[in-house]
Amino acid sequence: AVLQSIKALFHLLIYTTTCCGENNNTMNLSAALTLIALTGANAFAPAAKAPVTTELAMSEYRTSVRDNVDVGVGGPLAGGAGGRDLAEIWDNSSPVIVQGGSLRTWSFANPAIESVQVLLKTEGRPLDADVELWQGPDNTPHKMRVYVEDGALRTFNAVIGTPRGPNTVAIRNIGQLEFPLDAVVRPDRDDGLAAGIASVATRSETIQGGALRTYPFNPTVDSVAIILKTDGRPLNARIELLQGPNNNKQVVELYTEDGLDRPFFAIVETPGSGNVVRVVNTAPVEFPLYASVDAYRVGGGGDWADDGLMIGRAF
């Protein structure tokens, strides 16, 4: 562009010199040189930069649910639709009856199975059971004591970590012979129950050893998602579902050898009103835990009669 401008000015200078007198030659020559100088100076001006965006690209790297439980926004069953329903799991499984005082085991030899679902229920009678994870001889890295007042209205639903197989899940019904229970133990997929719980329980808080936290829920909440973990230390906790003063509807006493490698996922069903979830860290003060408790399934209010009484239902 600069060369073309110089060439045009040169032709203009020759034309002026030919057509005009000598008096104008000096003036025309000065004007032409001035224009040439200005045009040449523009050649050294910095070129205009293209606009640069500072927008950060979202990474598509997906972390494991067991490594990061604070993923996702919003619950899969918030609003009463979507996600994995507990009734769907029961319908697609074959429950095993565990009679009172008996023991049943489920073995998983595949090391690729990193977590298993444990679901327990009864026909409306109390549920009292011990759940243990065996990994090798005399090694119990995870165990629970589960009590539910009504095993049909409030089923027990949990996901326990089973890294580095083979693993065996043992369920002992410590109730009377008249109180059998139904058990479902199966591997948990990547989009299974643990992923659904992790996508809901996004807020975490620290509970120091010997301390407790309470989480009240309004009557529209049908079930609550709970995640307990540590920074690699042992996990000792007690989870209680209260409905009224000192009225325990469900109690889970939990021990995990490594709360980071084997976090605890659970869904507690909360039909009716006045439900409060209480989490107690039963370990010493040197062993804090991190708790995430949030609504898992929220109903649309259709279970409430005009007189304000809750019409109970079982999933």
| Consecutive H or E run containing 121 | strand 115-121
Quick check: 306 pLDDT over 60?
no
Structure token digits, residue 229? 């973990």
What is the per-residue pLDDT for 193? Answer: 86
Grade residue 309 by pLDDT with cuts at 50, 70 and 90: very low
Decide the pairing of beta strands 96-98 and 264-269: unpaired
Model pLDDT for residues 147-193, shown as the tens digit of each residue: 999 999 999 999 999 998 799 999 999 999 899 999 999 998 877 88
Which of the pair, 90 or 11, is modelled with greater confidence? Answer: 90
Let me know: does 78 contact 295? Beta carbons within 8 Å. Answer: yes
Quick check: 97 pLDDT over 60?
yes
Average pLDDT over residues 267-275: 93
Average pLDDT over residues 107-125: 92
Average pLDDT over residues 282-286: 94
Model pLDDT for residues 207-253, shown as the tens digit of each residue: 999 999 999 999 999 999 999 999 999 999 999 999 988 899 999 99
Cα 97 → chain centroid = 32
What is the per-residue pLDDT for 230? Answer: 95
What is the per-residue pLDDT for 62? Answer: 32
What is the per-residue pLDDT for 171? Answer: 96
What is the per-residue pLDDT for 8? Answer: 62
Average pLDDT, the chain: 78
In angstroms, rounded to a whole number, what is the distance separating the alpha carbons of residues 254 and 290?
A: 14
The pTM of the full predicted model, rounded to 2 decimals, is 0.68
Which of the pair, 204 or 25, is modelled with greater confidence? Answer: 204
Name the 3-class secondary structure at 34: helix
Quick check: 300 pLDDT over 90?
no
Model pLDDT for residues 33-85, shown as the tens digit of each residue: 555 555 554 544 555 554 544 333 333 333 333 333 333 333 344 433 334 57
Q: Which strands sit side by side in the sheet containing 156-161, from one edge to the other?
A: 96-98, 181-187, 115-121, 156-161, 264-269, 221-229, 289-298, 205-207
Which of the pair, 189 or 264, is modelled with greater confidence? Answer: 264
Average pLDDT over residues 115-127: 94
What is the per-residue pLDDT for 9? Answer: 58
Calculated CA dihedral for residues 301, 152, 239, 97, nearest 10 degrees: -150
What is the per-residue pLDDT for 183? Answer: 95
CA angle 27, 30, 34 (to 5 degrees): 140
Average pLDDT over residues 123-127: 93
- The answer to which of 128-132, 250-254, 299-303 has the lowest mean pLDDT is 299-303
Which of the pair, 59 or 200, is modelled with greater confidence? Answer: 200
In angstroms, rounded to a whole number, what is the distance separating the alpha carbons of residues 40 and 281?
A: 79
